[in-house]
């Protein structure tokens, strides 16, 4: 009695089904609360907000920097790629609870419930009306991206990726630490490095045609820490550059930071686009072991040709594999290097197949079989990279646009256009950080359920949980169905073992603003 109901969509195939609109707090993204809990345990948003600069006047802002960062990261993690989605989800109760610094029921305070809807039943935000604790609007998030695109803030975004991997690793090692182990660093760790393509539609600065991929794109370079599956760093590059372009500068600085914070000894894995003289010689000079795949060429084919013959007899049911070692020096190399040739049977194929690995490990340190097994573990990285491109495909669409009109009039002065390439790189780094947050939760769910989870399946089964949000006795009750509750219970068991990380105290200006917030 007394409830406002609107029949929205009649169904001819079954008149017993009625679709109605009711003024209730419903959400389809309840999993964002689990992401906030993980973020709270790791302290990443607070660390990022404390380290980055915010040029706004604290007395004139509505949303603190940390809330804006959480909003952007949570939108990306939930699959909402565009900042415009913040306007559509501005009144979503789960998002408002997850990103807000306020405690209690404060994030859901609404002076007038009828003010949250327009006459057609849609969000009032579409007409310019705003609730005091709604999500930040799209223009505000766009200004955040412009702020993060500043050189010092992009440097912080890069450091927070490694910081997230470090905090994830430290929290996990507290569970399995043995006496005498370094609580913060592994003894050894592997870095996987690769490039990939972000297809671009438009005239974004730096986007160009790549003949190998036959598309207009950006060509980012990325590195991941194999023990945890977290991104360590990413850099945005122009679309036409080679795979190994700027890889030495990117990798050498990263290796130093990894060995200072993640592991005592590190090694590098990569595909056939990277083994150039500058990179190989630099790794050898720094005594960093590596294994890269080599592109097949006529000289390598001649070296392996004597071994491309099947042994006599009927082949077994399982495909066979043979390993051969030799010394090889490419024309661009300064010296010969150890190469392992891999010859294998392919089911259904008459001829044997071969490929080659170049390494700095000696046979005494890693024999051919161990080396091949180590390189094959790179398949996990390839899977993570595929998941990132599939579930976190960044829309790098920032372009320089000079404002010619403001409220129907020509502005008094023309403001310089922002660095669109830097904005796109900052957005790429935000996507990588959102992946790291989701990866922590995904790894925890795999640990507690004993099942394999992709990022997409994790998002669909847990992050996109529908829920009803109730206010009762000064408490917020989030009601989910019993099917989703099983996975939430599994995630809860993992969160109980996730050791909280120390939070960085914000600067005085931000602390004073937070203290003044109602």
Residue 400 has pLDDT above 80, yes or no: no
Tell if the pTM clears 0.85, that is, is over it: yes
Asked if residues 2 and 10 have their Cβ atoms less than 8 Å apart, the reply is no
- For strands 290-294 and 263-270, give the pairing: parallel
Q: Which letter does DSSP use for residue 325 in this model?
A: E
| Tens-place pLDDT, residues 44-86 | 999 999 999 999 988 888 899 999 999 999 999 999 988 888 8
Query: In this predicted structure, what is the pLDDT of residue 181?
Result: 55
Query: In this predicted structure, what is the pLDDT of residue 238?
Result: 94
- The distance between the two most distant Cα atoms of the chain, rounded to a whole number of Å, is 87
Residue 128 has pLDDT above 70, yes or no: no
For residue 417, what pLDDT band results from cuts at 50, 70 and 90?
low
Query: In this predicted structure, what is the pLDDT of residue 58?
Result: 86
Average pLDDT, the chain: 85
Residue 11 has pLDDT above 60, yes or no: yes
**What H or E segment, with its residue span, contains residue 410?**
none
| Tens-place pLDDT, residues 144-157 | 999 999 999 999 99
Cα–Cα distance for residue pair 468/489, rounded to 1 Å? 18
Selected residue with higher pLDDT from 181 and 297:
297
- List, edge to edge, every strand of the sheet that includes 353-359: 230-235, 221-225, 186-195, 263-270, 290-294, 353-359, 337-344, 321-328
Residue closest to 437 by CA, chosen among 42, 99, 63: 42
* pLDDT (average), residues 272-280: 94
Selected residue with higher pLDDT from 221 and 417:
221
For residue 518, what pLDDT band results from cuts at 50, 70 and 90?
very low
* pLDDT (average), residues 6-35: 86
For residue 478, what pLDDT band results from cuts at 50, 70 and 90?
very high
Cα–Cα distance for residue pair 178/181, rounded to 1 Å? 6
* pLDDT (average), residues 129-144: 80
Residue 388 has pLDDT above 80, yes or no: yes
Residue 1 has pLDDT above 80, yes or no: no
Cα–Cα distance for residue pair 391/437, rounded to 1 Å? 13
């Amino acid at each position: 009695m007394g409830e406002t109901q609107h029949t929205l969509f009649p169904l001819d195939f079954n008149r017993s089904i009625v679709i109605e609109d009711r003024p209730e707090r419903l959400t389809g993204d309840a999993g964002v609360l689990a992401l906030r809990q993980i973020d709270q345990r790791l302290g990443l948003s607070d660390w990022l907000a404390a380290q980055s600069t915010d040029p706004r006047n604290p007395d004139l802002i509505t949303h603190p920097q940390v809330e804006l960062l959480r909003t952007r990261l949570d939108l990306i993690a939930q699959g909402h790629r565009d900042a415009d989605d913040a306007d559509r989800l501005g009144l979503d109760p789960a998002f408002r609870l997850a990103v807000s610094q306020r405690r209690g029921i404060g994030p859901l305070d609404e002076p007038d419930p009828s003010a949250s809807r327009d006459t057609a039943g849609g969000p009032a935000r579409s007409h310019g009306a705003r609730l005091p604790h709604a999500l930040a609007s799209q223009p505000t998030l766009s200004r955040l991206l412009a702020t993060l695109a500043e050189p010092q803030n992009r440097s912080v975004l890069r450091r927070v990726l490694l910081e997230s991997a470090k905090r994830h690793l430290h929290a996990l090692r507290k569970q399995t630490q043995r006496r005498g182990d370094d609580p913060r660093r592994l003894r050894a760790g592997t870095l996987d490095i690769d490039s990939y393509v972000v297809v671009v539609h438009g005239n974004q600065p730096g986007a160009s045609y790549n003949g190998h991929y036959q598309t207009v794109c950006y060509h980012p370079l990325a590195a991941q820490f194999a023990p945890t599956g977290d991104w360590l760093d990413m850099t945005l590059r122009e679309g036409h550059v080679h795979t190994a372009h700027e890889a030495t500068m990117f990798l050498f600085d990263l290796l130093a930071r990894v060995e200072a914070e993640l592991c005592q000894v590190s090694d590098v894995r990569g595909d056939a686009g990277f083994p150039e003289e500058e990179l190989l010689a630099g790794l050898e000079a720094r005594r960093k072991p590596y294994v890269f795949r080599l592109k097949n060429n006529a000289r390598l084919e001649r070296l392996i040709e004597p071994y491309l013959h099947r042994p006599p007899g009927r082949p077994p049911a399982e495909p066979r594999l043979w390993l051969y070692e030799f010394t090889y020096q490419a024309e661009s190399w300064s010296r010969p290097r150890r190469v392992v040739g891999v010859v294998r049977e392919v089911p259904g194929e008459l001829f044997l197949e071969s490929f080659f690995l170049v390494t700095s490990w000696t046979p005494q340190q890693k024999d051919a079989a161990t080396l091949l097994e180590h390189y094959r573990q790179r398949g996990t990285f390839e899977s993570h990279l595929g998941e990132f491109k599939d579930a976190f495909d960044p829309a790098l669409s920032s372009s320089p646009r000079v404002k010619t009109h403001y409220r129907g009039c020509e502005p008094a002065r023309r403001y310089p256009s922002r660095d669109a390439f830097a904005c796109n790189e900052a957005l790429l780094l935000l996507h990588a950080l959102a992946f790291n947050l989701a990866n922590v939760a995904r790894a925890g769910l795999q640990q507690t359920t004993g099942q394999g989870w992709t990022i997409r399946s994790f998002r669909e089964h847990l992050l996109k949980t529908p829920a009803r949000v109730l206010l009762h006795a000064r408490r917020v009750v989030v009601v989910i169905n019993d099917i989703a509750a099983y996975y939430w219970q599994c995630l809860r068991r993992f969160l109980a073992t996730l050791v909280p990380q120390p939070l960085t105290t914000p600067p005085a200006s931000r602390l004073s603003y937070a203290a003044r917030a109602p």
